[in-house]
């Protein structure tokens, strides 16, 4: 049944690729994967295979890849993606020796793939459970690990109709899960090769913090130090309608807005919501370059009088959070919140919308007081007014957020200490 579904899926992707650019990239990438492998695989090398569905899973696996390379430079790393949103962003990642799409999980593809790579170990990050690949890895005796995985009662493995498919989980050598609930669910279907280590994303955001960029444009924008700075990251229109409405009445705050979608229509919509507040777009603040110091400085005149900065480019948000007094992470009024840890790691209070129940890190931030959930404009006013009138509460919430991240770091070290030879 599984293989029939895969072939029907393959047919559907082939047809849909005619009409959708993203699907077309995935379709072509999967078809070209074997040529990439034939060109790049060194038959004398020893490979460790990491598979990530998309960009988020890549970020979870990245600390493992980089620490593995540091400890064992003699090993080569193969990184595969399922989604274009991961591959297209990280196809030039220097931490892996080969990067390609994962060919679709047919028996023939899985055999060809593993025959070419001959991995010594395989790591599947979070949610990846490809039936044929995993069964052939087990048949070949390749140690295979599920890392940063998290399980919930509603998943197919724990339903009466999914018990046959749940056999795929028995192919893993070991599970390194995020929480106790996952361990209990796996035990309920007879799997005890499980260790609770937490989430490698905590290690990743600490790495990101350590490598944060200094941003002269932002620093010049904040040069005339306002009373407070509010940074909104990965925001969507429903988020922006709430917080911008509040700040139209609180000009003593400066705003930095890094929307999730950077398109002209959306940027104009944000500018319209800001009303009379002077807004700048990050890429339109013309920098000057010092040929001697090799640094970039923003001329003060370019940002004078502005009270809002719209970040209309990617790759800066994790560094921008450092400048905040209060942060907001968007997505909570849509499909789900974005990365709250990138803000929390800086020791800043984090505000987010109600769709956060499936995000363990958000639940942890709420429990410790470092995160604040809002259900609408009135909730946002209540939280912000409290921070405005009680600055110590804002400081305490930020400290709780930073402590929360640091306290849950270390999953990378625990996993590699267990799987690598000593």
pLDDT for residue 31 is more than 80: no
Beta strands in 220-314 (DSSP E): 228-235, 253-259, 279-281, 288-290, 295-297, 308-310
Contacts of 413 (CB under 8 A, 6+ apart): 67, 203
Distance CA 79, CA 82 (A): 10
Residue 358: pLDDT above 70? Answer: yes
Q: Which residues on neighbouring strands pair with residue 78, listed in sequence order?
A: 49, 98
Burial category of 379 from C-beta neighbours within 10 Å (exposed 0-12, middle 13-18, buried 19 and up): middle
Residue 284 has pLDDT above 60, yes or no: yes
Whole-structure pTM over 0.85, yes or no? no
Three-class secondary structure of residue 244 per DSSP: helix
Res 290 pLDDT > 60: no
Q: Give the other-Cβ count within 10 Å of 290's Cβ.
A: 9
Residue 294 has pLDDT above 90, yes or no: no
- Cα 77 to Cα 47, 121, 155, 199, 409: the distances in Å are 6, 10, 30, 21, 23
Please give the Cα distance from 341 to 361 (Å, whole number). Answer: 7
Position 29 pLDDT exceeds 50: yes
Question: Per-residue pLDDT averaged across 73-78, rounded?
Answer: 96
pLDDT digit string, tens, across residues 55-74: 889 999 999 999 999 999 99
Task: Answer yes or no: are the C-beta atoms of 44 and 31 closer than 8 Å.
Answer: no
Overall average pLDDT of the 95-121 stretch: 93
pLDDT at 5: 67
Of the candidates 293, 267, 416, 404, which has an alpha carbon nearest to the alpha carbon of residue 343? 404
At 295 the pLDDT is: 39
User: Residue 404: is its pLDDT beyond 70?
Assistant: yes
pLDDT reading at 292 higher than 60? no
Separation between Cα atoms, residue 11 and residue 5, nearest integer Å: 10
Q: What pLDDT digit, counting tens, does each position of 298-342 carry?
A: 454 456 678 899 999 988 999 999 999 999 999 999 989 999 999
Q: Residue 288 has what pLDDT?
A: 44
Mean pLDDT of the chain: 89
């Amino acid at each position: 049944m599984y293989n029939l579904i895969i072939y029907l899926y393959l047919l559907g992707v082939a047809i849909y690729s005619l009409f959708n650019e993203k699907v077309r990239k995935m379709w072509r990438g999967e078809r070209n994967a074997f040529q990439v492998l034939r060109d790049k695989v060194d038959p004398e090398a020893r490979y460790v295979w990491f598979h990530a569905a998309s960009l988020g899973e890549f970020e979870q696996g990245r600390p493992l890849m980089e620490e593995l390379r540091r400890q064992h430079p003699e090993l080569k790393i193969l990184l595969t993606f399922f989604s274009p949103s991961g591959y297209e962003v990280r196809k030039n990642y220097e931490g892996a020796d080969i990067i390609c799409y994962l060919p679709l999980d047919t028996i023939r593809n899985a055999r060809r793939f593993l025959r070419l790579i001959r991995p010594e170990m395989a790591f599947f990050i979070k949610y990846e459970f490809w039936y044929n690949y995993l069964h052939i890895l087990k048949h070949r005796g390749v140690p295979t690990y599920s890392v940063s995985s998290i399980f919930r009662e509603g998943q197919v493995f724990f339903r009466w109709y999914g018990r046959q498919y749940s056999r795929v989980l028995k192919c893993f050598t070991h599970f390194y899960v995020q929480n106790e609930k996952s361990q209990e669910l796996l035990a309920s279907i007879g799997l005890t090769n499980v260790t609770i280590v937490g989430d490698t994303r905590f290690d990743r955001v600490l790495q990101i913090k350590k490598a944060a960029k200094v941003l002269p444009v932002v620093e010049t924008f904040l040069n005339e130090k306002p009373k407070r700075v509010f940074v909104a990251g990965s925001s969507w229109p429903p988020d922006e309608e709430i917080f911008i409405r509040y700040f139209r009445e609180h000009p003593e705050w400066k705003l930095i807005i890094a929307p999730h979608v950077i398109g002209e229509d959306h940027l104009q919509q944000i500018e319209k919501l800001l009303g009379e507040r002077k807004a700048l777009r990050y890429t339109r603040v013309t920098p000057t370059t010092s040929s001697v110091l090799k640094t970039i400085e923003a001329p003060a005149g370019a940002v004078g009088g502005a009270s809002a900065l719209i970040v209309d480019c990617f790759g800066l948000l994790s560094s921008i959070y450092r400048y905040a007094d209060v942060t907001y992470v968007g997505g909570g009024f849509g499909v789900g919140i974005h990365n709250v840890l990138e803000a929390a790691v800086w020791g800043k209070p984090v505000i987010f919308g109600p769709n956060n129940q499936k995000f363990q890190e958000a639940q942890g931030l709420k429990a410790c007081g470092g995160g604040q959930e809002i259900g609408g404009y009135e909730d946002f006013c209540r939280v912000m007014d409290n921070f405005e009138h009680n600055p110590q509460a804002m400081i305490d919430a930020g400290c709780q957020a930073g402590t929360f991240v640091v306290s849950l770091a270390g999953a990378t070290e625990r996993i590699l200490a267990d799987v690598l030879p000593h």
